[in-house]
Structure 1
Amino acid sequence: MPHPFSVLALSLAVLAAPVAAAFADPPKSPEPTPAKPKQIVLVSFDSAREISQWERSRALAKRTGAHFTYFLSCVFLLSPETRGAYTAPGKGAGKSNIGFAASKQEVADRLEQIRLAAAEGHDIGSHACGHFDGKDWSKADWLAEFGAFRRIFENAYAINGISPEPPGWRDFARHAVTGFRAPYLSTDKALYEALPEAGFHYDASGVSNGPDLPPTKNRTTRFALPLIPEGPKAKPVVAMDYNLYVRHSGGFEKPSMADEFADRAYHAFRAAFDAQYSGNRLPLELGFHFTQMNGGTYWNALERFAGEVCVKADVECISFRDYVERQRGGERQVAVGG
């Protein structure tokens, strides 16, 4: 027979068990997964010449909610009669690697496109003036080129005898341009010494092995077009239409292959985007020109791409200027749903 005290102890232990359980900590809920930042896509255009491409890009932006950066070459604000207003470092007056505007009317039309684009929230950057390779320029040379750009941009209406000049144009022109991309993406040490002195906040002349966060050095945020896999063998190529044009057709027009090239370009853009969208969400940069290479192949690919990704709730297609202003303002990327 069990000892009376043993029975009593067992009974008390059984009674105490539910009480102890009642005072135990409830199971913890799993930690919430932090929301990913929005995926940033940075689309830019170099030279910004053809009026029809201004209109086409602005229409694309309106359809998708995107904001673009237009790197303007200032020679396209000079007509054949006013070309002498520009002198490049080491060159005679009126010299340019890419010509000038075709007429005074074309200058007026382009100025109107610039004004409209800026009013719609787009970023106007500098692509210098005459599209010369500045890899051997001195700091003084770069400052002279930057000075020519700003002078011609600010005084474009007066230089060309176009009237009326819109109210506030000169104030806009003095303050609007905060970014630069070097012709041919060709840079030197002197460029990066000159950029902050000339009032630029960012440079977009770099090339990187892949998407990355742009560093800020010497007060200048430095963006880089990434290498992205492209084609059947996924060979890396700079994420810019001209580099795809050279890859696809050796830099010569092949209109019969336009559909194939457009499909390849689109899939390269989309694969680069998807890798970041499902991964670390580093900013993705894509560069274009107003030139219709291979029959407009690369613009067709851009429109297909932007129409799919820029409309996503957790994607922002923004300008370089907006990206830099956010970072300088201490603003973190907006979280999905925030």
Structure 2
Amino acid sequence: MIVIFSILLRAKRSLRYNSLAYGALFGLAATAAMFSPAEVVPGVRIDGRYVMLIIAAPFGGTYAALMSLLLAGTARFFIGGQAMFAGIVGIALASALSIIYRKVTNNRRDFWGFCALGILAFCPAFTLFILPFEVARPVFETNALPFLIANFLGVMIAGKFLCLEVNYHTHLKTVTSDLETDALTKIGNRYLFDKLEYNRFNGRASSPFAILLIDIDHFKNLNDRYGHDVGDRVLQHIAAVISSSVRETDLAIRYGGEEFVVIMPNATIDQADRTAARIQNTLRQNPFPLGRENIGVTFSAGVSASEDGASPLSSIVKKADQALYQAKDAGRDAIMKSEV
């Protein structure tokens, strides 16, 4: 289960999809536990299902708890037996307690949090008293303490291993993000561009895309006049303007020095041209403030596109670069389109 959980952590899906996938995992684990129970009296089974159900919401969210409830409840129905109804009620109670715990404790996942979950995992045992009292009492008296210990330890162990996986994934995600993020501007960097190029070259992406290549005009003069610290702040300002002017699906990258690339999936060259014009107008309306002075910054840009998505990123960037030089030759502060 831990291995599958780790795989799901790395899946790049929507939060709801991931939550349902976690729920399926916990629900199937609970079902598997029900098929290897300790049968204390005919039709009355005790197993580790509640461990899986009680940790569903803390590690997968509300949808995970509901999905695990559906799967485990359905399985218990088909298993049948004298305690079928009590079992289904216990499953529902465990799922409800899982959701309540997540909301009340702000999803606390530490030692004391798992202690609380371990105790909560014992609560569904009281649904045994839905059975006739003369059946439920001896079962409860005989098995209550072992059941409490088993569920408590099960939650502590499962929670610990799942937390290790979550922490490792979070650390890996942070490291990867740092590798792919420009330290100054906080947008994508050349490493990210090269990674995208590699993925596209290996056939992992084939959708149409457009490229917008931006080069700040006379940036060296700006550095010489105001200093490199001001130049760095100007780069941050421009990166912020670019990020706020593109679509959520577009990817802004600092390509090198004062050059920026915007990769626009499922976009035409005309859409890229309009985006460049929007960035240009926004930058004109929002010059970089330096004390009482506003520094007007302009850029030259070249746009190109791959209509079938088959071309390497680098070849489309090269075409955009050629268009960029045409914009510079035209006097700068201009946008030029390449031949598609």
Assess same fold via TM > 0.5.
no
Larger radius of gyration: 2
Higher RCO (C-alpha under 8 Å, 6+ residues apart): 1
Q: Provide TM-score, normalisation by structure 1.
A: 0.21
Q: TM-score, normalised by structure 2?
A: 0.21
